[in-house]
Structure 1
Amino acid sequence: MVDATKTIHVRPARRDDAPVLCAFLNEIIRIGGTTAHQTPFTPKNFAEHYLEGPGFVSCFVAEDENGEPCAFQGLERSDGIPKDWADIGTFSRPGNKVKGAGTALFEATRDHARSIGFKALNATIRADNVGGLTYYGRMGFTDYKIDKAVPLSDGRLVDRTSKRYLLDAD
């Protein structure tokens, strides 16, 4: 793990980030076990989902000390949660994580969500994604719901834990 805490730069994602962000999200999907996504993205459908789709709220990118994207975090509106909540998803470059990137991303995402009037953030995490559960817990998210035995595309059943972060709580 690279320790670049003092050199992390966070900025809004751009359409020209889609190929590199898509590549490391697809690597995460290929590895398995840490994302609800099971089908690889193309740069085009990545951009449509994370950068400009109908549910799009925001997407921030963390850059490492070389100015390369090392993680991203997206917010989107979705059915199944209150209208003043947004779903959050966080993805880090496999194999070369940058310490502090997740915290820096969350600070930007949280502040943006507050500024546009959201009341809470929802993170729904696979029960077998220990790193994701730990990350969101460290950021201050608390459990509020468990969906039991959600089927994956291969037929395996995996629980999903929903955690919320109340934006007016701190």
Structure 2
Amino acid sequence: MVKVRQAVSRDAKAMSAILAAIQVTWKTSWSSTPEYILKNYLLHPDRIRCSVAIDEADRILGFQSLKRASEGNPFQVTVGWGVVGTFVDLNMIRRGVGRALWASTLRAAQDAELKFIDATIEPENTLGLGYYDAIGFRTYRKLGNAIGKKFAVPAAG
């Protein structure tokens, strides 16, 4: 059973391990250190919510970050929109982790009164593209070697 809770600083090491494993498959050179996790997800000034999915033993299965796009953001997302990033343990893909994280993130987006959320994904990341399509995101732009997906946040109700 997957549960979701807000990420805290002590989660940075486990989150870092998940991101590092994913980056090997993506063949990227981004940082994935615990310090990077703290700076870019847990303590980022534009952070709305960062959630972790956990199992019964409190093992982290994945995490999802939601930030508010500010001026000069790296993905060139419209200021005021949400920006989401999702990272799931490669052994837990298609086991409900992403959907559980999304339910928490969507509530946070509604509470923050976001109108739209962007997910910017590399075209080679077919799992990520499929995930965002499955939860209602639609392609709205190309940005260099990335695809921008947009989600219209429904009013809370």
Shorter-chain TM range is 0.7 to 0.9
Deviation at 1:169, TM superposition (A): 7.2
Highest Rg: 1 or 2?
Answer: 1
Structure 2: unaligned runs, 5 residues or longer: none
> Counterparts of 1:72 and 1:137 in 2: how far apart (Å)?
18
Structure 1 position 103 matched with structure 2 position 99: yes
What's 2:85 paired with? 89
Identical positions, percent: 30
Instruction: Name the Cα RMSD after superposition.
Output: 1.8
Could you state the TM-score of these two structures normalised by the residue count of structure 1?
A: 0.82
Deviation at 1:139, TM superposition (A): 0.3
> Counterparts of 2:90 and 2:31 in 1: how far apart (Å)?
15
What's 1:133 paired with? 129
Structure 1 position 43 matched with structure 2 position 34: yes
Which stretches of structure 1, 4 residues or more, deviate above 6 A after TM superposition? none
Structure 1 position 12 matched with structure 2 position 6: yes
What's 1:23 paired with? 17
> Secondary structure at 1:45's aligned position in 2?
helix
CA spacing shift, 1:169–1:134, aligned 2, 3 Å = farther
What's 1:153 paired with? none
> Secondary structure at 1:140's aligned position in 2?
coil
Deviation at 1:46, TM superposition (A): 1.3
CA spacing shift, 1:117–1:96, aligned 2, 3 Å = closer
Given that 2:48 and 2:108 are in contact with CA atoms closer than 8 Å, whether structure 1 keeps it comes out as no
> Counterparts of 2:140 and 2:99 in 1: how far apart (Å)?
22
Structure 1: unaligned runs, 5 residues or longer: 1-6, 151-158
Structure 1 position 69 matched with structure 2 position 60: yes
1:115 to 97, 111, 115: 111
CA spacing shift, 1:69–1:47, aligned 2, 3 Å = same
Given that 1:60 and 1:105 are in contact with CA atoms closer than 8 Å, whether structure 2 keeps it comes out as yes
